[in-house]
Amino acid sequence: MAEVSTSPAKPFKVIVVGGGIAGLAMSHALQLAKIDHVVLEAYGEVCSHVGASIGLWPNGIRVLDQMGAWKQISEHCSPMNHSYNRLPDGRAVSVSRMADMIIERNGYDFVVLEREHVVKGLWDNIPDQSLIKVNQRVNKIDEDANGVTVHTTDGEKYEGDIVVACDGVNSFVRDHMWDMANRFSPGLIPAAEKTSLATTYCCLIGFAPEMAGIGLGDCQTVHNQGFSFLIITQPGRTFFFVFIKLPEVVRWPNRLKFTAEDAEREAAKLAALPVTESLLFGEIWKKKIRGQLIPLEEVVFDHWHHGRTVLLGDSVHKLTINLAFGGNSALESTAAFVNVLNRELKALPAGEKMSQETLSEAFEEYQGLRKPRMKKVLNLAYQLTRLQAWDGWFMKFVQSWVIPWVGDGQVVDHFSELVRAGHRLDFVPVPPHKEGYVPFNDELKDKDGPLYETHKAPSDFGSVIRRLVLPWIAVSSALVAGAAYSLSG
């Protein structure tokens, strides 16, 4: 039950900082919940060409579908076909149709497309675009018992009840929250938490036109010692990612910034290396439409809120992009946060103001829903990056021998279990869609049994053996990865 205060009430208002995918999704969700808000975007346009590509899993697509954006976004996607694992010389050692397995299990597709199509899909379908303000770079936040005032560099001021950080891994709002937390509760945000934002890998990322030597809708993972290639094709586009381990770990507050010259220098080192039997990486880079070198930060922070400030998306959970779960996680966090806020606001008597205590409880509930899940996702993304780059003898052994023996079906089952636990908006129906045989957890009936038939593993001997071995491998990988992560600092 929401606790109330006796202060005079104004309509509850949310100030969202950042107008990327997380910020636009937040506006969608808040508008669907009829919660007043404003989104402050630092740049001059929302639908810019910043970024290269994004992967969408069924859990993220489901939220986009609830927001009415998926239909438009899906027009820019083609089905994924074959997934190849290749050795450094370009030879394929395995091929599967993992995307089909995902659809069979979870209903929605797994797709890769240009990021701008997702941004435009969200923007075009947002009910009231006037709530998104461009050229509003935040440079100060004032916070007291009655609310917040957010200042921008052009002198504008925006008043509200809470601030939501959707401003990315280098979040200004997070810095404000840390400062406020340590002022009022010295030592609440320790140095160790701040420096847990670590960068161990960088990535050459971009896209080129369609290239001869790669099938449409195919995915190529090329393993090398200390780096890996990931090449994915869609109509008219060849998306490329090169994950490169850095000589040393870089920790916050230090930040890596790469120039175009840095990107060219790294690409030149890799130009003669094959990504298939007939295609070299240098051929893709030479024809690139867009390409850059970016750092790949990794973290899930311990503190997600303080006072009237709450963190969301990359500002609080940042992953390497091998797993393609970053944008999906931001969509999930948006849904989980707005679900909690909407419930608390609906529980308030008319004209009453939500107290700081109730706000803090709502923020804590949101953190409790999302942080444990994001720790699991971070660990999986962490392992996948290092498995693909043969980062040490153990990772090379698991990727080269154990995973092929376990089999694609068991690997996809692991991903499917991750997907099925995703959060969605609980006050908006999910549009009709293809049903998989692994239902989302929140689509199971509480009393009358499952909405769909739950997934049952085959009972053959080989499957039983694999299911006994896979948990041991997962635990062993987690221990080694965790030890490497701890010792890297």
Tokens of 23: 């910020």
Reported as a single tens digit per residue, the pLDDT across 115-173 is 999 999 999 999 999 999 999 999 999 999 999 999 999 999 999 999 999 999 999 99
**Cβ-Cβ contacts under 8 Å for 213 (sequence gap 6 or more):** 276, 277, 278, 279
Nearest CA to 420 out of 404, 406, 435 is that of 435
Q: By the 8 A CB rule, do 170 and 255 touch? A: yes
- Look at residue 18 in the predicted model and tell me its pLDDT: 97
> Domains (ranges, CATH) in the chain?
9-420 (3.50.50.60)
pLDDT tens string 369-386: 999 999 999 999 999 999
Residue type present at position 432? P
Q: What does the pLDDT read at residue 409?
A: 80
Q: Would you say 133 and 40 are in contact if contact means Cβ atoms under 8 Å apart?
A: yes
| Nearest residue to 320 via CA among 241, 374, 381, 372 | 381
Which segment of 74-78, 82-86, 468-472 scores lowest on mean pLDDT? Answer: 468-472
In 32-168, beta strands by DSSP E: 36-40, 53-56, 83-86, 92-96, 111-114, 132-133, 138-144, 147-152, 157-160, 162-165
Task: Tell me the per-residue pLDDT of 300-348, one tens digit each, with 9 for 90 and over.
Answer: 999 999 999 999 999 999 999 999 999 999 999 999 999 999 999 999 9
- Crossing angle of helices 58-66 and 408-420, in 10° steps, is 30
Mean pLDDT of 249-266: 97
Q: How many CA atoms lie within 13 A of 352 on its CB side?
A: 16
Three-state secondary structure call for residue 16: strand
Q: Which helix (H) or strand (E) holds 367?
A: helix 356-388
The residue with tokens 């070198």 is 293
Q: 310 with 301: CB under 8 angstroms?
A: no
Give 4's pLDDT tier (boundaries 50, 70, 90).
Answer: very low
pLDDT more than 90, % of the chain: 74
Q: How confident is the model at residue 9 (pLDDT cuts 50, 70, 90)?
A: low
Residue 467 has pLDDT above 60, yes or no: no
Angle between helices 356-388 and 461-487 (to 10 degrees): 110
Residue predicted with more confidence, 368 or 53: 368
In the predicted model, what is the mean pLDDT of the chain?
A: 88
What lies within 8 Å, CB to CB, of 9 at 6+ separation is 351, 352, 353
Looking up tokens 């005032």, which residue turns up? 149
Residue 304 confidence (pLDDT): 98
Q: Which of 11-15, 47-51, 286-290, 429-433 has the lowest mean pLDDT?
A: 47-51
94-118 confidence digits (pLDDT tens): 898 888 888 899 999 899 999 999 9
